[in-house]
Amino acid sequence: MFIRAYLRASTDDQDAGRAREYLEEFVAGHGKAIASSYMENASGSHADRPELIRLLKDARRGDVLLVESIDRLSRMDDQAWQSLKAAIDSCGIRIVAVDLPTSHQGITAQSGDEFTDRMLAAINYMMIDMMAAIARKDYQQRRLRQEQGIAKAKHSGVYKGRPADLELRKRVRELLAAGLGIRAVARHAQCSTTTVMKVRDELAQR
């Protein structure tokens, strides 16, 4: 069993690696260690996340997908979440969220009682679904508040928007033109893979 940690932050100015030490302490408390980490700055409302996709490709049956909380894994709508969950299930890996105690059985030895283990697994699936639904609702409410705030600012004539980092975008375009992949561009430009994909898509639309 390999424990694969997934660390995500929503925006470029947030630290996706913030929870790394927290996750390491959690697994150490269970006598385990993190085998590999996958870190990216990307919205949890989308499934197209390169590092999450890479984790699923690397994973083998019996591995653990470790997150700080379910909202780090998903803020997606129900259809997209069910699709992601099916992909995780097909890999034969287990989701463990530090803030969800019912999921911790995925990182510890099973009881040996088949009935008890199946009941705990069923409860855990239900709790994970519930936490994913709560994360989605929180995301939608925050987006609504943001939209309302922007509309109010525009009406008052004080909204200016977020200025684009022109030098960064220029650097990303140059690296893409040189034929580098998304992760390589993000590494060299010191930005998120989400930013790279946005610039790539903008170039494709020209």
Name the active-site residue from 10, 37, 74, 103: 10
User: What's the token pair of residue 62?
Assistant: 């019996």
Whether residue 10 lies in the annotated active site:
yes
Chain centroid, CA 136 distance in Å: 13
Strands laid side by side in the 94-97 sheet = 36-41, 3-9, 64-67, 94-97
Residue 146 CA: distances (Å) to CA of 139, 149, 177: 11, 5, 35
Rounded CA separation 163/160 (Å) = 8
Q: Is 7 in a helix, a strand, or coil? A: strand
Active site residue ranges: 10
